Amino acid sequence: QSRLVQSGGGLVQPGGSLKLSCAPSGFFLNYYTIGWFRQVPGKEREEVSCISANAGHTTYADSVEGRFTISRDGAKTFYLTMNDLRPEDTAIYYCAATNSSYDCSLSMKLWGQGTQVTVSS
């Protein structure tokens, strides 16, 4: 079956950096919009960033604009580079992908397993 496998995350001090990775298993990501989302206990999952299939269009949540960067290695692994991390960035981060038209939303078809990011001193 088609799967997204995540890696990265962990514990980092405020102001630090982390890089998350997401790799497809059993398929390639050509024609896929890909993105990152995050969720904290008791709250709904929220959009962080997305990038189009041809990498020509990106979107960022206001809360991460200028600090996070989404990138992709063609149809293979894609990444979320997180800089100047803040305690409020603490969440479970999920990667996602969809082969429909550009849709940076919770309606994406494929999801990674999630990885914990904790920002604390």
Chain-centre distance for alpha carbon 85: 15
User: Cβ(113)–Cβ(9) under 8 Å?
Assistant: no
pLDDT at residue 54, as a whole number = 85
Going by C-beta distance under 8 Å and a sequence separation of 6 or more, which residues neighbour residue 65?
none
Tell me what pLDDT residue 33 has.
94
How high is the mean pLDDT in each 10-residue block of the chain (121 residues)? 94 98 94 96 96 91 97 91 98 95 91 97 93
Quote the tokens at residue 33. Answer: 């919009």
Q: According to the model, what pLDDT value does residue 78 have?
A: 94
